[in-house]
Amino acid sequence: MREPLITVVIPCYNRSALLRRAIDSALAQNVPAAEIIVVDDGSTDDSPAVCASYGQRIAYVRQKNAGASAARNTGVNRAKNPWIAFLDSDDYWTPTHLEKMAGAIAETDGVANYYFCDMQMGERPNAGTLWQALGFAPQKAVQLTADGTNWAFLKRQPLMLQCAVIHKDAWLASGGLEPRFRLVHDTDIFFHLSVGAKVCAVAGVGCVQTDDDVSAVRLTTAVSSHGAAYWEECVGMWEKVLEKLPALRPPYRTIARFSLAAAHWRLFRLSWAAGQRARSLGHLPKMILADPAFLFLLLVHRRSDEAAPVVPPEYK
């Protein structure tokens, strides 16, 4: 197989102080990208000037502010190459990231929808990795699986966009990222890229997730995972999974139905605490319809996270 051609997509919004680090890490790859696209999602700082300083080494695209999902979709649509690698503007890659990913693509003849590696969680000397935290341990350095359903439906996905190289055709066929999702957009698309499809895990850390952006620009700062907005996104995501993936096998459909019911349960409690009684009660029939066994499991286990059905990781 010829060396895969990879386009790098970096979305950016008001992160000029951090953007250069991300771009530099993309330019410093042992195996260079065929194209680097920075999508400026309507920044009001000096991000345009930062990008201009790189001249022709990067492509700069500016759009009206529409969110990170829309910015990434714009980058994919502009990409000239069959493989897309994503990098967030506040993170950076290790120098061997694209080299390892390109090697895995070549080794497997590019049959997977996407290839992904591990992420270092922070810059501290003793910082662990995402896979270590989750107990995700592929048996091979290049672990190709014929069906990525299991990995997508683990209690927490071992998948991050910043660590993935995705085939452009698969991305477009999935519909891309949902602009309405701000916190679950990556979780959502990995469901639709994984179920019934070949995917591949590649050993080693490819990306370092930083924590030096504490501004309101960071989504985990802007949208709390404990708030109603997050759980409303979860409802939308699980409804989409159940509607768009009708061939989902029973263990995974059970997880999806339970998770949809759990999201409605969270919204019921949050609305009740806010004094929105009618809105709160409206979630009860939706919860029961999603999973009639949910309330029984909740009574037995007391907490929805403890009652949640789980599957062990499979490496085959």
Residues in contact with 147: Cβ distance below 8 Å, sequence separation at least 6, in sequence order: 194, 195, 196, 197, 198
CB within 8 Å of 124: residues ≥ 6 apart: none
Determine the longest span between alpha carbons in the chain, in angstroms.
62
pLDDT by residue, tens only, the chain of 316 residues: 668 999 999 999 999 999 999 999 999 999 999 999 999 999 999 999 999 999 999 999 999 999 999 999 999 999 999 999 999 999 999 999 999 999 999 999 999 999 999 999 999 888 999 999 999 999 999 999 999 999 999 999 999 999 999 999 999 999 999 999 999 999 999 999 999 999 999 999 999 999 876 555 555 545 566 799 999 999 999 999 999 999 999 999 999 999 999 999 999 999 999 999 999 999 999 999 999 999 888 888 777 777 889 999 999 8
Distance separating alpha carbons of residues 192 and 173, to the nearest angstrom: 9
pTM for the whole thing?
0.94
CB atoms closer than 10 angstroms to residue 61: 18
Helix (H, G, I), strand (E, B) or coil at 60: strand
